[in-house]
Structure 1
Amino acid sequence: MRIFLAGATGVIGTRLLPLLVAAGHEVAGMTRSAAKADQVRAAGAVPVVCDVYDADALTAAVVDYGPDLVMHQLTDLPDDAARLAESADANSRIRTEGTRNLIAAAQAAGAKRFLAQSIAWEPAGGRGRVIQDHEAAVLDIGGVVMKYGQFYGPGTYYEGELPPHPRVHVDDAAARTIPLLEASSGVVIIADAA
């Protein structure tokens, strides 16, 4: 399967990319950082340097690759968890404008499948509506919403401790995503048993 992975150099994307390649898929890994293109190439994928907010460039990149499936693993989160509150608007923009642009690009390319990450808990503040709208947009096109628990493990906010439930080790989250490439449209919770 030809897969366009948006968010290939993020916390889960870096784990998904080699799993997808090892499973025999042809993968284009999108990153907005030219400095990370070599990381994508080293994982065995075609690097695509593109900003999800540049709708024309994004559509051109996805159409050019011609994927069977587009996977949305984009977030806009800070490296420091203490800065989460101040970055909430940026992450909400990924879930609104970013999702809209990626869906439009996938449709323009004729991709038959669309998978997108979401969260398995109720977000703080007024961001719940953003999450609901994001998930509804994915389901409206027959996509799959992957609602991940809070990640823990290397490179996450919880490297040495467990977050509250729902939670999932980031490596387990990536491994549990692979079978969903063929899943029927709907919502899937990816979390440890409570």
Structure 2
Amino acid sequence: MRIFVAGATGAMGVPLVKRLVAAGHQVTGLTRSESKRPLLESLGATVAVADVFEAGRLGTVLREARPEVVVHLLTALPKTGPMRAADLEGTNRLRTEGTKNLVEAASSAGARRLVAESIVLVYGYDNSGSAPLTEEHPLARTAPRPWLQSTVDAGLVLEETVLSAARAGRLEGLVLRYGFIYGAGAGSTDGMVDRVKKRRMPLLGDGSGVWSWIHIDDAASATLAAIERGRSGEIYNVVDDEPVTWRDYLTHFAQVLGAPRPFQAPLWLVRLVSPYAALSLSNLLPVSNAKARRELGWRPEYPTYREGLATLASGARARKG
């Protein structure tokens, strides 16, 4: 298939392009910068240079690529991951205005399918209990802070834009709600490695917040499965098999690196220093991947954070060798 990847040079884009090329697909990678051309060409992709906010140019490169499938992986997060609310503003715009432009351009170029990246944060900040959230769970309509609400709203706009195009018969639109992505090459993980080694990543309160993670390679394999087997108009949670408390995740992260045990910081103090971190890391987001397993025939190579984090240790040993 001819596949157009928007966000091809990002943390998610690079491993996906590698998989697509290895699977025999003809890939065009979108980048805003001519300087990223050598990277994409080294991966075996054709290069399209355009800004997603310039609708005219975006439409031109899509018509030239003539893709059957468009993949939307556009984000604008800092290299070491978001640390404050302002770090999310660029991604919010990509998920609203950028998604609209990409859907319009894909449809006009005759693309058959569009697969878009969303995030499990659309389930919100008011969940309770330990039952994993499924795609049928009610979505967030309110968040505890306006700047968190804007992030949730941007995810919801992205999903509705893609799914409404599917309902209208313009595209086979489907959405992947990724868990929190980690692994070597993911900026947030690389930044976390440095902070954990220097004991600058504290455990907040009792560490009872629950997140659902997905290794970067498993996120790529799930995206490939959605391209090939996903159903139009559907949403799939892309997470591993085991939601985990921040206490267990961070403690194991430090053990894998041979780093000191993280120190504990009172939650009230963290709220004063970083309200974003306090709210995000205390959130409860246990999420189920049952639908993706059932309908996409997908299985994570790293079913829990323990197997996934082990790759950080093996990578470190390889670099030392």
TM-score w.r.t. the length of structure 1 is 0.94
How far apart are the structure 1 equivalents of 2:52 and 2:185? 23
The answer to whether the 8 A contact 1:37-1:47 is kept is yes
How far apart are the structure 1 equivalents of 2:223 and 2:68? 16
The answer to whether the 8 A contact 1:52-1:101 is kept is yes
Change (3 A) 1:82 1:5: closer
The answer to whether the 8 A contact 2:80-2:189 is kept is no
Deviation at 1:83, TM superposition (A): 4.3
CA RMSD in angstroms comes to: 1.7
Q: Which has the higher strand share?
A: 1
The letter of the residue matching 1:146 is L
Count of equivalent residues: 193
Find the residue that maps to 1:125 and give its secondary structure. Answer: helix
Deviation at 1:87, TM superposition (A): 2.3
Does residue 239 of structure 2 align to residue 191 of structure 1? yes
Alignment-derived partner of residue 175 in structure 2: 145
How far apart are the structure 2 equivalents of 1:82 and 1:27? 29
Does residue 221 of structure 2 align to residue 175 of structure 1? yes
The answer to whether the 8 A contact 1:38-1:47 is kept is no
Alignment-derived partner of residue 290 in structure 2: none
Find the residue that maps to 2:211 and give its secondary structure. Answer: coil
The answer to whether the 8 A contact 2:177-2:236 is kept is yes
Alignment-derived partner of residue 302 in structure 2: none
Find the residue that maps to 1:81 and give its secondary structure. Answer: coil
Does residue 141 of structure 2 align to residue 135 of structure 1? no
Alignment-derived partner of residue 77 in structure 1: 77
How far apart are the structure 1 equivalents of 2:38 and 2:162? 30
Greater C-alpha Rg = 2
The letter of the residue matching 2:189 is Y
The letter of the residue matching 1:135 is E
Task: State, as a whole percentage, how many aligned pairs show the same letter.
Answer: 38
Where does 1:1-194 land on structure 2 (aligned, <5 Å)? 1-81=1-81, 83-121=83-121, 122=124, 125-126=148-149, 127-142=151-166, 143-156=173-186, 157-159=188-190, 160=193, 164-182=210-228, 183-185=230-232, 186-194=234-242
The unaligned stretches of length 5 or more in structure 2 are 126-146, 167-172, 197-208, 243-321
Find the residue that maps to 1:4 and give its secondary structure. Answer: strand
Deviation at 1:125, TM superposition (A): 1.1
Deviation larger for 75-84 or 87-96 = 75-84
The letter of the residue matching 1:62 is L
How far apart are the structure 1 equivalents of 2:80 and 2:183? 15
The answer to whether the 8 A contact 2:12-2:220 is kept is yes
